[in-house]
Amino acid sequence: MSSVINGNKIPLYSQVAQTIRQRIRTGVYRPGQPLPSLRELSAEFKSSLCVVQHAVHDLERHGILATHHGKSVTVAETGPCAQAAILFGLIQPYSPTLTFDSRVFLYAGLVFNHRDNFLVTRSSEGDAEKERAIARHFLDNGVQGLLLWPIENDPNAKFFAELAREIPVVVVDRLLKDSGLPSVIYDSYNAGRSICRHLLKNVKRKRILALIDNLEISPYQALMQGLHDEAEVLGRRTDLTVIQLPISEALVKMTTGFAAQVDIYAPYIERLLKEGGYDALFCPQGDFVNYFIVEPGVYQKIAGLRIGILCGTMAEPNLTKLGEMGVLQWVVDHPRMISQGAELLQQWVLQRQRPKDAAPVKIWLKE
């Protein structure tokens, strides 16, 4: 069901005309096939017959529709609709207090703008009920495809599998178990192997301490498995220790004024490093390394310590500083991941056929 928005600065007939353009672009209305009657369109858009007639006349003037008097209205030309913007939605789980939340918005906006489409982005803030509510709100307001960045241990697989019968849904960043939906994820497993191999073999560290977020999501699980498997291959299983901490929770508290988190984690990490004789540390979140290891001076107290993190493709002041200190950075290409998800989503909308999963996005060591 579609409807026009009263009070919008865009005239009602233009809103109807734009929706018809979008439907032609996405193949809902095909060349030579009749559109619903004007009265049916008027009822669907909850608008007057005059508004719908005005929209049809406007599209006739541009050669897009043709009226066959006494019969029907058909699509005459699809070319002018090729750039009709499609409205997509993105649901992502990050708290607005995290800087990563704003970066996700930026990445996604750039990707969809490049395709001349519109994107509405909302945060579920890690709440399953809110995730469902946002999806329903998107569906009720004309979103034609949904990009889903699932929450931790997401229970909404069945919900989104059923929703995909109404609009295309593509999953990004992490798997939504048992949903059967097409997805785009990172090659976190091989990234874990690369990180372990580089630190133990290439830069000849004796022992690695890996601090991984305790979120129950597939990227971290695959990353940890890769770290462990490579240590086993190298015959260095006892030289790797993986500890899971509530890293995202600590970062949220830091950014909302709870600086006392530093007094909790900095001494704890310093003690782990010293007592375990570690000369290498890996943590995916560069912000955590900066706040809890570099700024409190832990880094300077451990002689010869090499640190590895994950970073994005765009320059970030904190991570630039870490790079200048010699911190190793493995690049996670979020724009590429979102772009591949957008491509699958657009393909599904335009071709009206469910796509297959995209190949995992590689994570590489920044030179």
pLDDT at 324: 82
Write the secondary structure of 238-285 as one string of H (helix), E (strand) and C (coil): HHEEEEEECHHHHHHHHHCCCCCHHHHHHHHHHHHHHHHCCCEEEEEE
pLDDT at 1: 45
Residue with tokens 């509530």: 246
C-alpha to C-alpha distances, 348 to 26, 129, 164, 179, nearest whole angstrom: 9, 26, 11, 17
CB 121 within 8 A of CB 135: no
Residue 137's pLDDT band (cuts 50, 70, 90): very high
CB 183 within 8 A of CB 175: yes
For the chain, domains (ranges, CATH) are: 12-81 (1.10.10.10), 87-185+335-354 (3.40.50.2300), 188-331 (3.40.50.2300)
Under DSSP, the state recorded for 71 is T
pLDDT at 2: 56
Q: What is the mean pLDDT of the chain?
A: 89
pTM for the model stands at 0.81
pLDDT tens, 303-335? Answer: 999 999 998 887 677 777 888 888 999 999 988
pLDDT at 3: 53
> For the ranges 105-114, 211-220, 238-247, 249-258, which has the lowest average pLDDT?
105-114
pLDDT at 101: 67
Share above pLDDT 90 across residues of the chain, in percent, rounded to a whole number = 55
pLDDT at 198: 98
The CA angle 341-4-56, to the nearest 5 degrees, is 95
Residues contacting residue 164 through CB under 8 Å, at least 6 positions apart: 181, 354
Bigger pLDDT: 262 vs 228 = 228
The secondary structure of 288-324 as a DSSP string is HHIIIIITTTHHHHSTT-EEEEEE-SS--HHHHHHHH
Region class of 319: left (phi > 0), else alpha (psi between -120 and 50), else beta = alpha
> For the ranges 8-12, 123-127, 180-184, which has the lowest average pLDDT?
8-12
Q: Average pLDDT for residues 270-274, to the nearest whole number?
A: 96
Share above pLDDT 70 across residues of the chain, in percent, rounded to a whole number = 95
Q: Give alpha helix (H) positions in 28-173.
A: 38-45, 49-61, 99-114, 128-140, 157-163
